[in-house]
Amino acid sequence: MARVAVVTGGTSGIGLATAHLFAARGWSVAVIARDQGRLDAAEAALSAYGRPVLAISADVADAQAVDAAAERIEQELGPIRAWINNAMSTVVSPADKIAPDEYRRVTETTYLSQVFGTLAALRHMKKRDRGAIVQVSSGLGIRAAPLQAPYCAAKFAVSGFTDSLRAELIHDSVDVSLTVVYLPAVNTPQFNWARTRTGHGQNAPDPVFDPRLCAEAIHFAVEHPRREIWVGRSSLMMALAQGLAPGFADRKAAEAWESQLEERPVPDRDGNLFEPVPGNVGTDGRFGDRTRRTRSEFWTSRERDLVVLGLAGVAAIGVAGLAAAARAPRRLLGRR
């Protein structure tokens, strides 16, 4: 039976790159998104790989719609083996200029969408004791930046929800993997349709990475489950800075204000927060000239744990050596 992967937000950017990668590697793929035109285009493109494809129009902030999509996928494609929660939205603005309904909507689309997708997948995976769920997060879910308070908060919430659920699955001995993938700045159409309240367009700060690198990391998380994966050196550096020197990280984040904005003034835009922006936008954004083409720059929590264990071993040897050195003079004195 064919393996079935579900990708939310699967008609553009990282989601579309991920859907293509899974289809190219023999998976049947279902994509969930809002815009019917892009769904039709994605379905046609993915069908070229020769595997069954299903494109479903649904708002991932609607729990019932996500449940219905999961039921349809199970009936038409087969048992869901992988569920990738990729959909998101943001508002680029100082925090005190963002309206309550905008905070609520970003929370629904960026955090609750991952909760609803995870729960829908689990209802099917738990009874089979098999499956992989991947939460697509961001370095901003580890080290928050200015001008995106609702998005950063939502991504932080994703990690808390996932850690709590993972502990429950371990307790119940359920063999469903949960991975959080933390992404850097990526060359996607997101920067063309995010809601803005700054008088400037949204810019992707360097270094900018290829969405296909993110797809590779997501696919790796399904085939080789890990607790966490960091994509791009910038995501790794954000995690290190926040863990080791959060005050320093605060100051560096404050300096990132200007790098998130285009230089020339442009009118604010409503973006895709409440309604999809029409048009077939594809996988890549407008930063192709600055995009790093690497397909392998990601690190896993297993590699981190090995480094930590190695450092702990070195530290333990060092402490033992210091203790031995401290005792040596007393032994020598006792022999006189």
Kindly state whether residues 152 and 267 are assigned to the same domain. yes
The answer to whether residues 65 and 58 touch, using CB atoms and an 8 Å cutoff, is yes
Residue 308: band (very low, low, confident or very high) from pLDDT cuts 50, 70, 90: very low
Angle value at C-alpha 8, between 46 and 121, nearest 5 degrees: 110
Residue 323 pLDDT more than 70?
no
Whether residues 309 and 267 fall in one domain: no
pLDDT value of position 1: 67
Across the range 21-30, mean pLDDT stands at 98
The answer to whether 42 touches 11, Cβ cutoff 8 Å, is yes
Look at residue 304 in the predicted model and tell me its pLDDT.
65
The reported pLDDT for the residue numbered 335 is 38
Active site annotation includes 155: yes
Q: 301 an active-site residue? A: no
Which of 141, 91, 140, 17 is CA-nearest to residue 9?
Answer: 17
Strands in 4-8's sheet, in edge-to-edge order, are 53-57, 28-33, 4-8, 80-85, 132-138, 177-183, 228-231, 298-300
Summarised one tens digit per residue, pLDDT across range 229-261 is 999 999 999 999 999 999 999 999 999 999 999
Alpha-carbon distance of 231 to 213, in angstroms, equals 8
Q: What is the pLDDT of residue 252?
A: 93
Question: Comparing C-alpha atoms, which of 7, 78, 33 is closest to residue 276?
Answer: 33
Catalytic hit among 113, 155, 234, 235: 155
Whether 132 and 19 share a structural domain: yes
CA 66, 69, 75, 78 dihedral sign is: negative
Q: Where are the alpha helices (DSSP H) in 173-231?
A: 190-193, 211-223
Phi, psi (degrees; rounded to nearest 5) at 306: -65, -40
Distance CA 132, CA 80 (A): 9
Q: Per-residue confidence at 317, pLDDT binned at 50, 70, 90? A: low
Among candidate residues 141, 183, 142, the one with its CA nearest the CA of residue 9: 183
CB neighbours of 245 closer than 8 A, spacing ≥ 6?
none
Given this model, what pLDDT does residue 303 score?
72
Domains in the chain, number: 2
The reply to whether 26 and 63 lie within a common domain is: yes
Mean pLDDT in residue range 67-81: 98
pLDDT in tens, 141-158: 999 999 999 999 999 999
Q: Are residues 315 and 254 in the same domain?
A: no
Q: Which of 49, 111, 151, 182 is catalytic?
A: 151
Statement to judge: residues 128 and 237 lie in one domain: yes
Q: How confident is the model at residue 296 (pLDDT cuts 50, 70, 90)?
A: confident
Same domain for 13 and 48: yes
- Give the end-to-end CA distance of the chain in Å, rounded to a whole number: 80
Residue 328 burial (C-beta neighbours within 10 Å; 0-12, 13-18, 19+): exposed
Collapse the DSSP code of 273 into the 3-class scheme (helix H, G, I; strand E, B; otherwise coil) and give the result: coil
Do 235 and 263 belong together in one domain? yes
| Catalytic residue (choose from 12, 93, 137, 138) | 137
Is residue 5 within 8 A of residue 125, CB to CB? The reply is: no
Q: Kindly state whether residues 173 and 318 are assigned to the same domain.
A: no
151 is catalytic: yes
* Average pLDDT of span 176-192: 97
List the one residue out of 72, 89, 75, 71 whose CA is nearest residue 12: 89
Question: pLDDT over 90 for what percent of the chain?
Answer: 86
- 233 with 140, same domain: the answer is yes
Percent of the chain with pLDDT over 70: 90
Q: Residue 165 sits in which domain range?
A: 4-296
Question: 237 and 166 in one domain?
Answer: yes
For residues 88 and 13, give the distance between their C-alpha atoms in angstroms, rounded to a whole number: 11
pTM, rounded to two decimals: 0.90
pLDDT digits (tens, 9 = 90+) for 6-22: 999 999 999 999 999 99
Residue recorded with tokens 């925090």: 95
CATH of the domain at 115: 3.40.50.720
103 and 184 within one domain: yes
